[in-house]
């Protein structure tokens, strides 16, 4: 499961704990089944000591959308006037090529985009595809049923983090370039 730190159980702004379904956003592992009793007890203790209590946590939560970018990762990018959600099909020279996916319903079910204004026709792909700078994307965990396994509010906060330059800082730190 790879659960080691308290922040892995909290939302990006540490305002609440994550539901079992959304835990993959911090552990980077999709977990099947109903949440176990021990996790409910752990959530209660974290909420009592850290969320409502006097203990402090690192904010913004460094575990939200953390991971090393690679082919087949699901990513989110802040586009000019709309957010881009996609799956990487190629990474080369700090550029990623990703197929565009759209959120279909309240369950965060994804479906491939047929075609939209974000499609880069010069790539010659059948699916809606875009070329993106790797320092402008963040990883999003998606399960085999194509459901986003991230808290909806955290997804919005991750998308907004580009405006603050947060994404570039995190990406450079992963590569060993510490500020």
pLDDT digits (tens, 9 = 90+) for 104-147: 877 778 999 988 888 888 888 888 999 999 888 888 889 999 99
Residues 80 and 156 in one domain: yes
Distances (CA, A) of 59 to 10, 15, 46: 10, 10, 15
Mean pLDDT, residues 83-107 taken together: 89
- Per the prediction, the chain carries an average pLDDT of 81
- Asked if residue 66 lies in contact with residue 2, where contact means CB atoms within 8 angstroms, the answer is no
pLDDT-derived band at 179 (thresholds 50, 70, 90) equals very low
CB within 8 A of 137, min separation 6: which ones?
69, 75, 76, 77, 96, 98, 167
Quote the pLDDT of residue 39.
93
- Asked if residue 77 lies in contact with residue 83, where contact means CB atoms within 8 angstroms, the answer is yes
- Number of domains, the chain: 2
Residue 67: inside a domain: no
Residues 47 and 92 in one domain: no
pTM beyond 0.75: no
Query: Tokens 């060993």 identify what position?
Result: 176
What domain range includes position 15?
Answer: 6-51
Quote the pLDDT of residue 126.
85
Query: Is the pLDDT reported for residue 159 higher than 90?
Result: no
Question: pLDDT per residue over 34-50, tens digit each?
Answer: 899 999 999 999 999 98
């Amino acid at each position: 499961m790879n659960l080691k730190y308290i922040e892995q159980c909290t939302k990006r702004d540490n305002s609440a704990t994550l539901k079992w379904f959304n835990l993959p956003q911090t552990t980077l592992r999709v977990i099947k089944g109903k949440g176990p009793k021990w996790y409910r007890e752990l959530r209660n203790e974290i909420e009592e000591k850290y969320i409502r209590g006097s203990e402090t946590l690192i904010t913004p939560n460094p575990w939200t959308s953390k991971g090393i970018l690679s082919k087949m990762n699901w990513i989110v990018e802040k586009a000019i006037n709309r957010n881009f959600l996609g799956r990487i099909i190629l990474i080369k020279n700090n550029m990623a090529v990703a197929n565009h996916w759209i959120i279909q319903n309240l369950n965060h079910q994804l479906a491939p985009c047929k075609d939209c204004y974000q499609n880069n026709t010069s790539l010659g792909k059948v699916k809606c595809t875009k070329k993106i700078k790797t320092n402008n994307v963040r990883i999003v965990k998606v399960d085999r049923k194509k459901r986003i396994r991230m808290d909806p509010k955290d997804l919005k906060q991750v998308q907004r983090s580009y405006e603050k330059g947060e994404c570039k800082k995190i990406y450079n730190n992963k590569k060993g370039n510490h500020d």
